[in-house]
Amino acid sequence: MSRFVIHTHQRLQEWVAEEKGYFRAEGLTDYLMKAGRIPQPAADAKPANSTPDIRQGAYQSYEQGRDATVSCACHWTVNMAASNEHGRLWGECYSVSPGGIFVQPDSAIRRPEDLAGVDIHVGYQSGSHYTTIQALEPFLPFESIRLKFGGLPNDRVDQLLDGRAPAATLFGVQYYLAEQLGYRKIVDCTFMIAGMVPPGADIEDVRKYYRALRRAQADLDLMFQPYTHYYLKEMPERHARLVDVRRFGPGERLVFEPYSQQMYEATREWVNSRNIFPEEKKGRDVFADAVVQPQAAE
């Protein structure tokens, strides 16, 4: 049997489960944890005052293949990747991450309407891409929402810090970093994240993994402060030295409810109606094939 590989996705639950021995207690004994986000191709060098469009993101990482038994991305991308047969969406649990569109501390932008025509730095076909549109549509016509594909979350933090980004959508660790450094949140972008399992994954091992995370989530709900130091394992040193992670919040929260057929179909319809993917990647509307459904109660 191959080793169970876990991507920690810059959240706390896996670190708590490891510290408390929950993985082994649930019978998952041969596993490897990999911290941080999935590496993506770097952009060509550009002048310091410019940002190239980086059209590589979470969806492309699933096309290329992730080396994890369970990996996570925003539910829009996991949904579309599963409908294109790059793995199966884990339907027994999802999570919710705090997120927001941040602007420079001295920015004249005060309201969501002020973002019309302003470059908002997001990741391509990644959570920040979809959630920015979803958050701004109540305020702006679609054609007034201008996205700049700035790369990975840490890249977008750098773009805020050096002034290249007038606005950027951040979530999780980067959300807390921007908040602590005084960048102003214009609108909330909290969004749903889903798990993905590749073809051939041992589903019972995946259930052991999630049982361990459920125990870790209870610990975080009770008192998250003892565990915020684990954020330092998920941050580059250049960012870690700017903040005090003891002031951060609990971050992404796991929700042990089904990702339903209604969720699956509504999400695909939302993504496809905005033409975020070309026609050949709009996927199949086959919920039973794309989603690992919860076990029936005995």
User: Which residue, 228, 109, 97, is CA-closest to 160?
Assistant: 109
- pLDDT band, very low/low/confident/very high, at 46 (cuts 50, 70, 90): very low
Q: At what angle do helices 172-180 and 153-161 cross, to 10 degrees?
A: 10
Q: Per mean pLDDT, which range of 41-45, 231-235, 243-247, 282-286 is the poorest?
A: 41-45
**Other C-beta atoms within 10 Å of 45: how many?**
7
Q: Which pLDDT belongs to residue 133?
A: 98
- pLDDT band, very low/low/confident/very high, at 295 (cuts 50, 70, 90): confident
Buried b (16+ CB within 10 A) or exposed e, 211-229: bbbbbbbebbeeebeebbe
For range 114-137, the mean pLDDT? 98
Q: Which pLDDT belongs to residue 50?
A: 63
Gap between the Cα atoms of 122 and 105, Å rounded: 19
Does the pLDDT at position 38 exceed 70?
no
For range 46-59, the mean pLDDT? 75
Is 161 within a domain?
A: yes
Domain count, the chain: 1
pLDDT digits (tens, 9 = 90+) for 59-108: 999 999 998 999 999 999 999 999 999 999 999 999 999 999 999 999 99
Q: Which pLDDT belongs to residue 285?
A: 84
Is 114 within a domain?
A: yes
- pLDDT band, very low/low/confident/very high, at 49 (cuts 50, 70, 90): low
Is 246 within a domain?
A: yes
Q: Which pLDDT belongs to residue 231?
A: 97
**Other C-beta atoms within 10 Å of 39: how many?**
8
The phi and psi torsions of 104 (rounded to 5 degrees) equal -60, 150
Host domain of residue 29:
4-41+49-292
Is 70 within a domain?
A: yes
Q: What is the CATH number of the domain that holds 22?
A: 3.40.190.10
Q: Residue 130 carries which DSSP code?
A: H
Is 297 within a domain?
A: no
Gap between the Cα atoms of 288 and 261, Å rounded: 8
Q: Which pLDDT belongs to residue 22?
A: 98
**Other C-beta atoms within 10 Å of 245: how many?**
17
Tokens of 24: 């082994």
Question: What DSSP line would sit under 43-99, residue for residue?
Answer: PPP--TT--------HHHHHHH--S-SBEEEEHHHHHHHHHTTSSEEEEEEEEEE-E
Is 259 within a domain?
A: yes
Task: Check if the beta carbon of residue 243 is closer than 8 Å to that of residue 177.
Answer: yes
Q: H helices then E strands: how many in the chain? A: 11, 12
pLDDT digits (tens, 9 = 90+) for 209-261: 999 999 999 999 999 999 999 999 999 999 999 999 999 999 999 999 999 99
Q: How far is CA 52 from the centre of its chain?
A: 22
Q: Which pLDDT belongs to residue 259?
A: 97
Radius of gyration in angstroms for the set of CA atoms belonging to the chain, rounded to a whole number: 19
Is 298 within a domain?
A: no
Q: Per mean pLDDT, which range of 42-56, 176-190, 273-287 is the poorest?
A: 42-56
Which position has the token pair 């004994």? 29
Q: What is the pTM of this model?
A: 0.92
Is 9 within a domain?
A: yes
Q: Which pLDDT belongs to residue 284?
A: 85
Close Cβ partners of 30 (under 8 Å, ≥ 6 residues apart): 1, 3, 4
Instruction: Provide the percentage of residues in the chain whose pLDDT is more than 90.
Output: 88
Averaged pLDDT of the chain: 93
For range 278-288, the mean pLDDT? 90
